[in-house]
């Protein structure tokens, strides 16, 4: 039929675009696998690790015994750009705080990406009150979350400054931070990433990208400022506020409408100096001081004007500093 012919043509053209990209970037791309390899390493997609708009992730094992996570992309969505973004960006990286792409598959409309396996899953399940189980709570203290926050900042600094090409992630959030067996954080999911020159102070974008609750205001409202590496800093700030405060920024869990927006609610408490352990569900003053530092850094990161936000290098410096941090203007 005409519809199936159009559908087939569309996919063939998409795959031709991707093949052209792979050919032009041959030196960078990781190992290519056949679809039968993918089926074999996942035991015919036996263990599902998670599902999203992009597709599903399955646990697998390489012939050498290494465990992997195989992301099978949903080919009915997008034009293959997410696949290209992932391969183009992660292939250029090598950092302890960025997930490693080990291989890929592109065959007859089937697209898959093969990553190192992260046994502790995503950060998301460890920081939201409704997701915390007794097992999780035993594993991650505020000190642990603080070290994870520093690790993520190091990974983001590497993406912004450490590669030959600057990589802007555009989807920093707890769900996209994976934890290895030692709870070392690794930035993942580069489907929305953009590559730009290291000296570029801004990037052009045709459409807003990111996740509601973490998107910097300039990404969808251009008169606020230019889209740049500071847009990732904003997303990082929203995430670290959650890590310090233990509440998701879209669901504070309070009843007064004036307190619904978590950053505003926590800012008022910081400004008045009444951050008590009970407010954050903590026990000791030491823990509360660590959480307060994360919250103050987060509030600097989410300043509305990108120019008022620190660079990710400055963020890392602030987190590692032993000096008291200045409270930022109200975001």
* Residue list for the binding site for ATP: 71
Residue pLDDT, tens place only, 147-196: 999 999 999 999 999 887 899 999 999 999 999 999 999 999 988 888 88
- Which uninterrupted H or E stretch holds 116? strand 110-116
Q: Are 114 and 33 in contact (CB under 8 A)?
A: yes
For the question of residue 200 being annotated catalytic, the response is no
Residue pLDDT, tens place only, 72-116: 988 766 657 788 888 888 888 889 999 999 999 988 888 999 999
- For residue 220 the two structure tokens come to 């969808």
Range list of H helices, the chain: 2-24, 35-41, 81-90, 124-127, 134-139, 142-157, 217-220, 229-245, 262-271, 285-301, 312-320
Whether 199 shows a pLDDT value over 90: the answer reads no
Whether 41 shows a pLDDT value over 60: the answer reads yes
Residue pLDDT, tens place only, 112-138: 999 999 999 999 988 875 556 655 555
pLDDT for 328:
94
**Which residues, in sequence order, are CB contacts of 72 under 8 Å at separation 6+?**
38, 45, 55, 56, 57, 58, 110, 111, 112
Whether 48 shows a pLDDT value over 90: the answer reads yes
**How are the residues of the chain apportioned to helix, strand and coil, as percentages rounded to the nearest 5?**
45, 15, 40
Domains annotated for the chain, with CATH where assigned, are: 2-116 (3.30.200.20), 124-320 (1.10.510.10)
pLDDT for 75:
74
Catalytic residue among 17, 64, 135, 171: 171
Whether 46 shows a pLDDT value over 60: the answer reads yes
């Amino acid at each position: 039929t005409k519809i199936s012919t159009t559908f087939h043509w569309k996919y063939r053209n998409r795959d031709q675009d991707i093949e052209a990209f792979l050919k032009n970037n041959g030196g960078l791309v990781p190992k290519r696998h056949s679809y039968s390899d993918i089926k074999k390493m996942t035991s015919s997609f036996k263990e599902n690790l998670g599902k999203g708009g992009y597709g599903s992730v399955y646990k697998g094992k390489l012939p050498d015994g290494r465990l992997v996570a195989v992301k099978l992309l949903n080919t009915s969505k997008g034009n293959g750009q997410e696949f290209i973004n992932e391969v183009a960006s992660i292939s250029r990286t090598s950092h302890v705080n960025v997930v490693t792409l080990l291989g890929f598959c592109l065959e007859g409309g089937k697209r898959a990406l093969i990553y190192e396996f992260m046994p502790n899953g995503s950060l998301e399940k460890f920081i939201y009150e409704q997701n915390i189980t007794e097992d999780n709570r035993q594993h991650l203290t505020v000190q642990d979350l603080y070290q994870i926050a520093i690790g993520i900042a190091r990974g983001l600094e590497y993406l912004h400054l450490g590669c030959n090409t600057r990589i802007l992630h555009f989807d920093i959030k707890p769900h996209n931070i994976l934890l290895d067996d030692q709870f070392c954080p690794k930035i993942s999911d580069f489907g929305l990433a953009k590559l730009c020159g290291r000296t570029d102070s801004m990037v052009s974008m045709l459409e807003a990208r990111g996740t509601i609750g973490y998107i910097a205001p300039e990404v969808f409202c251009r008169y606020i400022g230019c889209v740049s590496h500071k847009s990732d800093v904003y997303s990082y700030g929203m995430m670290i506020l959650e890590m310090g405060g233990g509440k998701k920024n879209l669901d504070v869990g309070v009843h007064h409408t004036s307190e619904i927006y978590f950053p505003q609610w926590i800012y008022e408490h910081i400004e008045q100096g009444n951050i008590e352990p009970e407010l954050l569900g903590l026990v000791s003053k030491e823990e509360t001081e660590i959480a307060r530092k994360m919250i103050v850094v987060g509030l600097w990161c989410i300043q509305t004007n990108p120019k008022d936000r620190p660079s990710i290098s400055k963020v890392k410096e602030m987190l590692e500093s032993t000096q008291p941090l200045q409270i930022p203007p109200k975001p």
